[in-house]
Structure 1
Amino acid sequence: MTADIATEVFEEHRPVLLGVAYRMLGRVADAEDVVQDAWLRWSGADRADVRDRRAYLVRVTTRLALDRLRQIKARNEAYVGPWLPEPYLTEFGDTAPDTVERAVLADSVSLAVLVVLESLSPLERAVFVLREAFGYPYADIAAMLDRAEPAVRQLAGRARRHVEERRPRYDVDPAQRRDLTERFLAAAGDGDLDGLMALLAPDVRLVGDSGGKSKAPLRVLESADHVGRFLVGAAGKGIPGMSYRFLELNAGPAVLVLSGGEPDAVLQVDVVDGRVQTVYVVRNPDKLRSLATA
């Protein structure tokens, strides 16, 4: 295999590799670093005996992501305030040929599910991502992780039960989420507390991630009254040179808030029974850098 062909093969599978790494790590920059390391391994490998190129590349990427994930978990112990995944521009296109597969991929990359995945062990997370998001057979996952198949099945069952027990139940209709997000923004921006309260579920939660590097609540806010008053108060203070635009982030409509043309925050809501159930606000500047050119 020539160097040009090796590059073509890798680029063909790059979206899948990035998808695996991001679901494993919850961080775009770390996922990109892992994929770059996978490229270095691929470009320097003896590729003559590689029969299944995609499986080989996914195996390399998964093992590199596992190593990185163990480092990240130690780093997170000192994180200031609530943690959320880094917002991720999702364009499944070529990697999701049908509606069913797209729905599976979308669910596995949502903020709600990624937050739950943080509570899994690194091996459980790897097995869950490979099995539930990408549909790999247990035998293939066992080979990728150098584990016995029965052990992989046990890991998969434990991870699945854990995720199902903690997975938030929300509506996934993008049009409804977009409409409710627009009304939500309008009410908050106008300081219309009554209008905002009508859109919020009574037990709504607001999760803000600043990493201690910008202003955001250092604890999760709960109840419509607390969340509504906080949002109206925050909107009243304003953001210099504010503008915003809608993007598809983590497979759902989201708002990128700009200050002077630079990313300042990402806002996304989950909807249940026509009301906002969870509000996610990412303001950690480290997690917004990848959206500078979005």
Structure 2
Amino acid sequence: MVEQDWVGERFAEHQDRLHAMAYRMLGSPGEAEDAVQEAWLRVSRSDTGQIENPGGWLTTIVARVCLNMLEARRNRREESAGALPDEPHASIRPTGQAGPEDEALLADSVGVALMVVLDALAPAERLAFVLHDVFAVPFAEIGPIIDRSPTAARQLASRARRRVQGAASASEAARSAKREIVEAFLAASRGGDFAALLELLDPDAVVGELRGGREVAAFFAGRAEAARLALVDGVPAAVWWHLGRPKAVITFTVEDGKIARIDVDTDTDQIRELDIVVLPADDKGRR
């Protein structure tokens, strides 16, 4: 009983970190919870008499559970590849509904682009990168988890890092381009510049029940006086403020350099959960 209590206390002490680590390796809060639960089952049945580093021991167990889950996921994808084509990654975009632990590794800077890259990595690459670059686990400890030498683990992490950095650069470029489009749209809307709005909008642009670039341009002409450029969960958007509080969030879907869809969210509860960073001229000011 004393040993079981010791195990439970050590697990509770490290549980938040283990869950964060599992999430960043698996990219799914549900799967992360499953991994931590599976790790607990293994831990509770283990002989802990020789454990000198509980944190490292628990990290190893969770990492191995995650590695097995990643390999099983990869096998399922390979088995189904011949039956159905993969969904194009371009159709995936941030929803802005994730909680504190529901953002992928470095999501503030690379968002969905990073998730696409991580999903494309081999399980051992993903594990080596996340354990070392995010949780500072030495390669000497990572190697045995993935059945590689420390040198091989270092090479795997390095290769994954290069791909992630490339995704970060591409994501930042896309975000910068979208910001310019949103900023131009707001300026044209405030000034009632119908021609400029029409130039920014896709001919088949959609806003609620409105369909077509001309209808959308006519609707927004002269209507954005109180809207401010902002990052909403890291994505360029616009926010309408009233009495110091955000009352509406306007998000833009950009395709081929044109605004294809505009969504306006006025749900107070949903807006409260969003991370809103106002972008005035000096790029400062946070909700």
TM-score normalised over the length of structure 2: 0.57
1:1-294 counterparts in 2 under 5 A? 1-73=2-74, 74-75=76-77, 82-83=91-92, 88-90=98-100, 110-168=111-169, 170=172, 192=220, 195=224, 199=229, 221-226=254-259, 229-231=260-262, 234-235=263-264, 244-247=270-273, 253=275
Misfit runs of 4+, over 6 Å: 187-191
Q: Quick one: distance in 2 between partners of 1:107 and 1:46?
A: 40
Check conservation: 1:138, 1:152, Cα contact below 8 A: yes
The one-letter code of the counterpart of 1:167 is A
The one-letter code of the counterpart of 2:139 is Y
Q: Quick one: distance in 2 between partners of 1:164 and 1:152?
A: 18
CA-CA distance at 1:166 after TM superposition = 1.8
CA-CA distance at 1:243 after TM superposition = 5.1
The one-letter code of the counterpart of 1:225 is K
Q: Quick one: distance in 1 between partners of 2:33 and 2:42?
A: 14
Flag the structure with more relative contact order, 1 or 2, with Cα contacts below 8 A and sequence separation at least 6. 1
Q: Counterpart of 2:241?
A: none
CA-CA distance at 1:115 after TM superposition = 3.3
Question: Closer, same or farther in 2 for the Cα pair 1:192/1:5, shift >3 Å?
Answer: farther
The one-letter code of the counterpart of 1:151 is A
Q: Counterpart of 1:211?
A: none
**What's the CA shift string for 1:16-48, capped at 9, x where partnerless?**
111111111111101100000000000000011
Check conservation: 1:28, 1:88, Cα contact below 8 A: no
Check conservation: 1:127, 1:156, Cα contact below 8 A: yes
CA-CA distance at 1:120 after TM superposition = 1.2
Check conservation: 2:125, 2:160, Cα contact below 8 A: yes
Percent identity between the two aligned chains: 33
Check conservation: 2:110, 2:168, Cα contact below 8 A: no
Check conservation: 1:116, 1:167, Cα contact below 8 A: no
CA-CA distance at 1:15 after TM superposition = 1.1
Question: Closer, same or farther in 2 for the Cα pair 1:165/1:133, shift >3 Å?
Answer: same
**What's the CA shift string for 1:233-254, capped at 9, x where partnerless?**
x54xx89x88523336xxxx27
The one-letter code of the counterpart of 1:246 is R
CA-CA distance at 1:141 after TM superposition = 1.1
Q: Quick one: distance in 1 between partners of 2:257 and 2:48?
A: 57
Q: Which runs of 5+ in 1 are unaligned?
A: 92-103, 172-176, 207-219, 255-267, 275-294
Question: Closer, same or farther in 2 for the Cα pair 1:114/1:80, shift >3 Å?
Answer: closer
The one-letter code of the counterpart of 2:99 is L
The one-letter code of the counterpart of 1:3 is Q
Q: Quick one: distance in 1 between partners of 2:50 and 2:160?
A: 33
Question: Closer, same or farther in 2 for the Cα pair 1:89/1:71, shift >3 Å?
Answer: same
TM-score normalised over the length of structure 1: 0.56
Q: CA RMSD in A?
A: 4.4
Q: Quick one: distance in 2 between partners of 1:126 and 1:112?
A: 18
Q: Which runs of 5+ in 2 are unaligned?
A: 174-178, 191-206, 209-215, 237-252
Which of the two has higher C-alpha Rg?
2
